[in-house]
Structure formats: structure tokens, C-alpha cells
Structure 1
């Protein structure tokens, strides 16, 4: 039996601000994020299964990631709910803005960990999340590997 990895890429636009940071990212700003999701498993061997030869249907993986990440974070602004940014978040929500309040500083490093947990909770039991790559800019990204997080 061969273990195969497959990857699907996603993109979304989101804003954030890093409270207490000593650089420009303390200001509310946005990114065109790119998210690469790699899962692993064995291709289906059952010849009666319509998904014969697939580890997971790319459409099924897309549905999970869209529901858990893209549909929630696209065109949203992410703030740490434990900072004074919560006041700005409340005002923006009153004006109809899509705001996500999280328990962490919304860096790429923390967001990718959050995304890993969300995706893993939805994958079929026989499929494992192998890695994620969250690209914030053309030259900057964070990576998450299951093997580093056992």
C-alpha cells in the first residue's frame, strides 16, 4: 500500500493588526493570503467506489477548507480579543464589518496553528493532515507539519 500526499491551494483576503507590536503591523492592514493544504493517505482500492484511486476527492477537501477557513476569513479582519482592539472590533461590527475575534495574536504562525486544528477536526479518519503553508506576502510564509506537532 502506497501512502500518497495531495495538495490543494486556496486564497483569501484578510486584515489584521498586531497589538503591542513594535513595527508597522501594529496598524490595521491586510494581506492576500495563500494557503496550501497537504493531506496524506492511501488511494481507495475498492473498484466499486466512485472515488477509486483517490486519497480524497479534491472537491471534498475544498469543501472542508472553504467552510472552516476561506468562507470565514475571506474579507474579514482578525483581532486578538484580549487586547484593546476589541473596542475597534465592536465598532466595526456595528457598522457591518466581518470581524473575527481570536484568543491569540493574529500572526501567520498562530493563524496556521488554528487552521490546522480546524481542518484536522473535519478530515475523514483515514486521511491525515500532513502540512500547511500560509503565505502572507510574496516573500513571507509560515509552515506547519504534523510530524513537528505530535
Structure 2
């Protein structure tokens, strides 16, 4: 099994409408995101030979999502929720990226240096995507 990880950062504000503490107030974070793709087969020919997938392709997809919805936005507005927690953000990013990155298996979101959340759908625990879609 190969695991490929790509990280990116973004700055954003949010507030947790129903939180019983200070997170109810608008505030910002410097978010760190790591996405994980996994598979067992590498490309066998062409410009991506011996790659699980090309890092530049992953970067492009992540950059598009970051620019359109995440960086320097109010996440309550762009993610259309009254409670954009790290857990919610991780799942939301996964759902947005999965159609374009079929080997995606997990997303990590960190809003501080000491906190992080991993989202991995239950189906990926026992049913790893073991081949590249381009090889089907």
C-alpha cells in the first residue's frame, strides 16, 4: 500500500453559533490541511510512470478548492453551516475533493499547533481503493 500526502494552509475566520464558550465569537485560524491518497498500483507508463498520482495534479485540485471556498473567507458562509468545526471542515473538504481525487482516503485539519482532526469514511477502513482509476 502506498500513501501519498499533500499539505496546504489557509487563513479563515469562523464562529460556532451554539458553542457554550468563546468559540461562539467570530475568530480566525491559520489552518493546516493534509490530505492522504492511497493505493497499491503505480502508473505503468507515460509521464506519470511509477507514480501513485502526480503531486502537481493534487496541488492544482487543492489550490482551486482553497481559493474558491477557504482562504480569507468566513467559513460559516462559504461552507454554509452555523458550526464549521474542524470535524465538519475535514469532512467537507473530503467530500469536495473525492470526485476529483478518487484515491483520496483521509483528510486532516488542524486549527492550532496542538489540535488536529482526521476524517476517514468508514468504508475506507475495510475497503481501500487499491487501483488507479486510469488503469481500469
Matched with 2:73 is: 76
Pairwise CA RMSD: 1.5
- Distance in 2 between residues matched to 1:66 and 1:20, nearest whole Å: 31
The residue number in structure 1 matching 2:104 is 129
* Equivalence for 2:17: 19
- Mind listing any 5+ residue stretches in structure 2 that lack a counterpart? 125-136
User: What SS is found at the alignment partner of 2:78?
Assistant: strand
CA distance in 2, matches of 1:119, 1:135: 18
Instruction: String of CA shifts for 1:91-149, please: whole Å, max 9, x gaps.
Output: xxxxxxxx5251452001111111100010112xxx42121110110111110123x25
Structure 1 spans left out of the alignment, 5+ residues: 80-98
Q: Tell me if the contact between 1:12 and 1:75 (Cα under 8 Å) persists in the aligned partners.
A: yes
Q: Distance in 1 between matches of 2:55 and 2:82?
A: 30
Partner in structure 2 of residue 111 of structure 1: 89
TM superposition score normalised by structure 2: 0.83
Determine helix, strand or coil for the equivalent of 1:50.
helix
Q: Are the aligned partners of 1:104 and 1:110 in contact in 2 as well (CA < 8 Å)? A: no
**Do structure 1's residue 4 and structure 2's residue 22 form an aligned pair?**
no
CA distance in 1, matches of 2:53, 2:88: 27
- Identify the residue that residue 138 of structure 1 maps to in structure 2: 113
Aligned-pair CA distance for 1:65: 1.1
Runs of 4+, deviation exceeding 4 Å: none
Aligned residues: 122
- In the aligned structure 2, how far is the partner of 1:25 from the partner of 1:131? 26
Aligned to 1:86: none
Query: Which one of 45, 56, 61 corresponds to residue 59 of structure 1?
Result: 56
